[in-house]
Amino acid sequence: MASGPDTVRRISCPLLSTNSCSIYEIRPLNCRAFVAVDVRECISTFVMMGKFAVRMPAPITNMRTFWHMLMMAALRLAGKNVAVYEMNAAVSRALETPDAEARWLAGEDVFEGLAEALPMAPEIEAEIGRMVAFVAPTMERT
């Protein structure tokens, strides 16, 4: 089965209000790190729900990937499930789940049943494992 941005069911962002971000000042890092080259590509992809075709500068894409890897390593070190979900579906689930943050922090999988967005590339998985192995011995055990 093919994988990539076009194989993931995209839904409009639950935080949009009349085509504007309702939480722009406090938007998630994933949104902050989404730097497009052409606004027309964003409109075609996210407003018109056309084929995913948003070009982003390579340095920004690389930094996003590195940031995701760091977050996944931190989640593993904290004993949390590491899964990649389509962000809009995950945000929608978090918004519709009472006390989602507290429940997730307590160990409940509030994202249970959501399809994972894309499988993690083996080289990314290996690098996350190396990060965890490097940091784990430095963590205080109580």
The residue ranges of every structural domain in the chain are 13-56
Q: How far is CA 139 from the centre of its chain?
A: 26
pLDDT per residue over 44-80, tens digit each? 877 777 777 788 888 888 888 888 899 999 999 998 8
Would you list the DSSP string of 78-140? TT-----B-HHHHHHHHHHSTTHHHHHHTT--TTTTPPBSSPPPHHHHHHHHHHHHHHGGGS-
Give the separation between CA 124 and CA 43, rounded to whole angstroms.
30
Residue 127 confidence (pLDDT) above 80: yes
Type and span of the H or E element at 71:
helix 58-77
Predicted TM-score of the model (pTM)? 0.66
Hey, what are 132's tokens? 């965890």
Check residue 142 and give its pLDDT. Answer: 54
Residue 3 confidence (pLDDT) above 70: no
* Close Cβ partners of 67 (under 8 Å, ≥ 6 residues apart): 29, 33
Residue 124 confidence (pLDDT) above 70: yes
Residue 15 confidence (pLDDT) above 70: yes
